[in-house]
Structure 1
Amino acid sequence: MKKLIYLLVLSLSLVTFSQNLPKGFVYLHNVDASIQKELRYLGSNNFIGKPINGYSNNCVIVSKPTALALKKIQTKLKKEGLSLKIFDAYRPQQAVDHFVNWAKDTNDTLMKKQYYPKIAKSQLFNLGYIASKSGHTRGSTVDITLVDLKTGKDLDMGSPYDFFGVRSHPFYRKISETQKENRMLLRRMMLKNGFKPYDNEWWHFTLKEEPYPKTYFNFPVK
């Protein structure tokens, strides 16, 4: 009886926290449950220091072609004792709006020391770190890193995720050789499997043949 009640509660919780996704979108765990995740915008460990609007469940949503491409990469990485780890994927427009409103409030510098120590908050728009539109909102962009399956730790990439500064540029030179190699390993795997990189962030990749290149969605992550 206890087991039956547990299963009933579990099923109800899944109904509560899942949704009917728009056509062409999938929950990544339904395609490859082995890909790890740490949705930074669901909690407070991010550059704002607070949960972000539009995130209410610890799940990764992407376009179906993106999910299939990630599954292909994950299959290869696991043979080398590594795993993908997602920091962010589909991002609703309401979250982007949250970023924009935060950036306009120059008095809110709660996370400056950790995420943008050498940049004035007033320059985040001009330098391209904050924008009113994001490729994430189209559903085929991921913020991603690599994990060592033996240790369970992220590979050292030379700068934290979402660090605003030149240290996060993929080819930044003033990091160790190991850190450079880790960045290039991630970059090679993503490029070989249909993704294109972003010049300012080692973690940011977009599917080249994204299915919704001009559509910005706003359904929640739940």
Structure 2
Amino acid sequence: MTRLRTVLRVLAASAAALLALSTTAPAAQARPEPTPPREFVALRTVAPTIIQEMRYVTPHTFMGVAVTGYRQPVCIVTRPTAEALRTAQAKLLRQGYSLKVYDCYRPQRAVDHFVRWAEDLQDERMKAEFYPRVDKSRLFADGYIAEKSGHSRGSTVDLTVVKLPALPTRPYVPGERLAPCYGPKAERFPDNSVDMGTGFDCFDTLAHTDDPRVQGEQRANRQLLKRTLASVGFTNLPEEWWHFTYKPETFPDSYFDFPVAWPRGARN
């Protein structure tokens, strides 16, 4: 009988422990997904005519896969950034052009994905298009990849100019033949953008906004984009013709990590 009581006490203690674990473990493990501060908006709600071709939700990236944290093909930015883009868009529409965004707010988890990929020197599946003249081991040293990005603060966008009327850019097919991002426009991956001299996310010095090798129509197109955005408060990153930051930034020292998604019906 004593042995039976001992066994029953052990079983009761085990059951209690399991019950405690089952009631506390989910609470301990569940981490609510971060959400955007109220200062962020979906660009489409402020400037609906701006074309959106959100590359990082697709496999047509320098990594060859969709980027962690991109759940919807939606551009999210701070409201002042969106309003400035709306003003720039109005200027371009009067000239027969439209802005097109490739990337806007970028969560820190996406930047971390970039870093993990850059550290894997064996993965070069997209080298022939995005960095054919750069050794992958140089991506950090040459500034193409960093552990922090201004995009995560919400006031930085990657964008281009499209001549209207615009046909959509065809989807990238994984495994298709790749062409260098700095080649002639007719040979690069098709893009309904005007000819900027290189494709988006081209890891090459030819992508520097004022590279002297870029002349004629290509230079004029870059200057049109730069001049239009500068007139409404954006500053260009000299190493990337597509990269602009609205100043003053709403969050100059904050790096956010909420996912890229904007549910229908969400506040704007």
Q: 2:35–2:258: 8 Å Cα contact kept in structure 1?
A: no
Name which of 222, 226, 236 aligns with 1:187: 226
2:158 aligns to what? Answer: 143
Write the distance in 2 (CA, Å) between the matches of 1:186 and 1:27.
Answer: 22
Larger radius of gyration: 2
SS across alignment from 1:69: helix
Matched, 1:105 2:144: no
1:174 is displaced (CA, Å) by 2.0
Write the distance in 2 (CA, Å) between the matches of 1:170 and 1:26.
Answer: 28
Write the distance in 1 (CA, Å) between the matches of 2:254 and 2:166.
Answer: 39
Percent identity reads: 47
Matched, 1:84 2:99: yes
User: What residue identity is the alignment partner of 2:148?
Assistant: K
More strand by share: 1
User: RMSD between aligned alpha carbons?
Assistant: 1.2
Residues 74-98 of structure 1: CA distance to partner in whole angstroms, max 9, x if unpaired?
A: 1111111100000000000000000
1:20 is displaced (CA, Å) by 6.0
1:218 aligns to what? Answer: 257
Structure 1 unaligned residues grouped into runs of 5+:
1-18
Q: 2:56–2:66: 8 Å Cα contact kept in structure 1?
A: yes
User: What residue identity is the alignment partner of 1:50?
Assistant: V
User: What residue identity is the alignment partner of 2:227?
Assistant: R
User: What residue identity is the alignment partner of 2:228?
Assistant: M
Q: 1:35-54 maps to which residues of 2 (within 5 A)?
A: 35-54=50-69
User: What residue identity is the alignment partner of 1:104?
Assistant: E
TM-score by length of 2: 0.74
Write the distance in 2 (CA, Å) between the matches of 1:171 and 1:20.
Answer: 38
2:244 aligns to what? Answer: 205
Matched, 1:160 2:175: no
Structure 2 unaligned residues grouped into runs of 5+:
1-33, 168-191, 262-268
TM-score by length of 1: 0.90
User: What residue identity is the alignment partner of 1:213?
Assistant: P
Distance 1:56 1:116, change over 3 A: same
Write the distance in 2 (CA, Å) between the matches of 1:209 and 1:174.
Answer: 32
Write the distance in 2 (CA, Å) between the matches of 1:68 and 1:161.
Answer: 24
